[in-house]
Chains A and B, each alone.
Chain A
Amino acid sequence: MNSERVLSVRGLHKQFVLHNIDGRTVEALHGVDLDVFAGEHVALAGSSGAGKSSLLRCIYRTYLPTSGSVTLRVTSGMDVDLTDLGDRELARLRGRELGYVSQFLRAEPRRGALDIVARAGVQRGMDWDDAREAAAIALRKLNIDESLWDVYATVLSGGEKQRVNLAAGTISPPQLLLLDEPVSALDPANREAALDLIADLTEHGVAVLAVFHDLDAMARLATRVVLMSDGQIAQQGPPETVLGQLTGVAR
């Protein structure tokens, strides 16, 4: 495994101040330290409200961290702190250097599945022909029937949309990919295909930081499991160790 550190999170705090609800504050993260290396698949585990999604969002800066640092090593080898990067600079790094795949396809009116996926490839620097070819391969892998490729994605089923979203997020993948429940709406067969596609990313050296609600997916994909509790990292280690304890607790 390539051992280059791609992501380094230090002392990350996130506090929300709800000005319109009597100014109360909500603590989402209380000092998170985490490294992710190239070719690693780090699964975030923990009950809901533990801060898993908040961590992903703070790294992508959909949430603006309150304090701490999120350092990304970009492909040129430079280390960049995303927490204080300018908006324009961050907008450009996104996609090409770090990607975020949520459980929902962002509304793309009047666009077909193949177009959406290929466009994502073009945004990461592929030319249109290569992007279309790669998009077709990804959609085929994810069992999206070819008859649906040019149908507006807004009319696809929830599971189809989720697979289109995953294909778009993983085409010509950036070196760090954040996955937030990317297979939550899929039936067993399609879920298998999606998990295979995610496993391929790790094979190809992409650093993955993921949230899955089920332990099976974690056990299958993770090279390391990080257990979160109350906005902090409670424990981390090899999947067999951490997940073993989790299932023990569940029993």
Chain B
Amino acid sequence: MSDVTDQDKGPDPAAELAIDDWVLKVDRLGKVFGPQDPAAIADTGPEFGTSKSPTTGSVVAAWDVSFEVAAGEAIGVIGESGSGKSTVMRSIAGDHGSSAGSVYLRRSDGTVEDILTLDGASRRKLRIDQLSVVYQDPSEGLDLGVTAGGNVAERLTAAGWRHFGQIRERASELLSRTEVPLERMDDIVRQFSGGMRQRVQLAKALANRPPVVLFDEPTTGLDASVAAGVLDLIRNLLEELGLAAVVVSHDFSVIEMLTSRCVVMHHGRIVEHGLTDQLLEDPRHPYSQRLVAAART
């Protein structure tokens, strides 16, 4: 098992100023649904007020999206429904193919590869212990017909764990870390509340200590008090485990609590990037200004 908890805490600011320690680097990522005609790029985007090309009919869900994230850091991707933020997440995760660009991952052994070029089998392997996703809908990340412990065990066995006692021990350790009462470990996940399902999903996502975790609206749809608890748990996990995280959300309070930097997406393009507090206090793009104003009322 690889260990990703080692964070660079070196106090040397000179070394820190030249940062090239990303774990995930998204480089000019693009995803076009429909005809892959370059003409669609030219007549879509914020300045055209649409992501659907009038000439080709294709939807440019994401284009020219670039950002990088290091260990111990979370970057936010914010925007309304249809802005392309979930497309970006699904492209990185490999849930669907991409039309352009690269997504570089630095594995825990230091090797770097463009994960968009991987075949299906290598992709699935990657998702076992290098890159996990926590979905808004727990049924995407969990098998609801299986117990909480069974869901976590599945991820562990995929990584080569064989000893029943050890699997059981690791699963209970993970579930207690994500605040699932151990007496519920052998209950079917379908019987769990929404907040509890998210906690099981977190335990499963973190099972093999992946260096990168993607969060897609992790608290959307939960009651406010439950969401606050899950959010707090995620924040503590990010801090403790030194993960490189990408948090996709339409909710500024989620982005504000979990991330130090973020990008704003609109009609498939990044319209603004910056430190999270700066984007909230001094948004410059007209769309970011509208988003922030809407969140404040």
Q: Known interface pairs A62-B278, A64-B274, A87-B274. Does A92 touch B11 (Cβ–Cβ under 8 Å)?
A: no
Q: Which of A80, A90, A92, A93 has the most CB of B within 10 A?
A: A92
Q: Which residue of A lies closest to B12 (CB)?
A: A76
Question: Are B282 and A16 neighbours in the complex by a CB distance under 8 Å?
Answer: yes
Contact among A18, A61, A125 with B11 in the assembled complex (CB-CB below 8 Å): A125
Question: Are B19 and A17 neighbours in the complex by a CB distance under 8 Å?
Answer: no
Query: Interface readout for A79-120 with B: 1 if CB under 8 Å, 0 if not?
Result: 010000011111111001100000000010110000000000
C-alpha gap A110/B229 in the complex (Å):
8
* 253-297 of chain B: CB within 8 A of chain A: 257, 260-261, 273-275, 277-278, 281-282, 284-286, 289-290, 293
Residues of chain A lying within 8 A (CB to CB) of residue B73? 88, 91
A250 within 8 A of B: no
B9 within 8 A of A: yes
A193 within 8 A of B: no
Contact among A62, A87, A91, A109 with B281 in the assembled complex (CB-CB below 8 Å): A62
19 examples of A-B residue contacts, CB within 8 angstroms: A17-B284, A19-B285, A19-B286, A57-B281, A62-B275, A62-B281, A63-B281, A74-B13, A76-B12, A76-B13, A78-B17, A86-B19, A88-B68, A89-B17, A90-B275, A92-B16, A96-B11, A110-B228, A110-B229
B14 within 8 A of A: yes
A20 within 8 A of B: yes
Give the interface of B toward A (CB within 8 A).
9, 11-14, 16-17, 19, 68, 70, 73, 228-229, 231-232, 257, 260-261, 273-275, 277-278, 281-282, 284-286, 289-290, 293
Give the interface of A toward B (CB within 8 A).
16-20, 57, 61-64, 74-76, 78, 80, 86-93, 96-97, 107, 109-110, 125
C-alpha gap A141/B273 in the complex (Å):
40
C-alpha gap A76/B11 in the complex (Å):
10
CB distance from B14 to the nearest CB of A (A): 4
CB distance from A92 to the nearest CB of B (A): 5
